[in-house]
């Protein structure tokens, strides 16, 4: 698996995990962090990984 494809897959999976946390853990209370905020952070990281994978895929073709 190429590095671009791996980043794309990891980014999409991370984004989806963050989306699930953001949408379905609003009522769950944890003393230290809020799971909805963790979901937003995971969505940002997943978006950055996906963008990096797309950039690597386009740069490799040119």
Give the domain extent around 43: 3-57
The pLDDT score that the predictor gives to residue 26 is: 87
- What pTM did the predictor assign? 0.89
Residues 6+ apart with CB under 8 A from 46: 10, 11, 12, 13, 14, 15, 16, 17, 18
The pLDDT score that the predictor gives to residue 29 is: 86
Within a domain: 62: no
Within a domain: 51: yes
The pLDDT score that the predictor gives to residue 28 is: 87
Question: What are 14's two structure tokens?
Answer: 């991370």
Q: Are 50 and 17 in contact (CB under 8 A)?
A: no
Within a domain: 53: yes
> Which residues of the chain register pLDDT less than 50?
none
The pLDDT score that the predictor gives to residue 61 is: 76
Give CA angle at 8 (33, 47), nearest 5°.
40
For 28-38, write each residue's pLDDT tens digit: 888 999 999 99
The structural domain count of the chain equals 1
Within a domain: 17: yes
- Pick from 43, 44, 53: which is nearest to 6 by CA? 53
């Amino acid at each position: 698996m190429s590095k671009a494809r791996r980043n794309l897959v990891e980014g999409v999976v991370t984004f989806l995990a963050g989306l699930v946390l953001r949408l379905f853990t609003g009522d769950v209370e944890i003393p230290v962090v809020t799971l909805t905020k963790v979901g937003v952070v995971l969505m940002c990281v997943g978006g950055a990984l996906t963008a990096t994978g797309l950039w690597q895929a386009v740069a490799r073709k040119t």
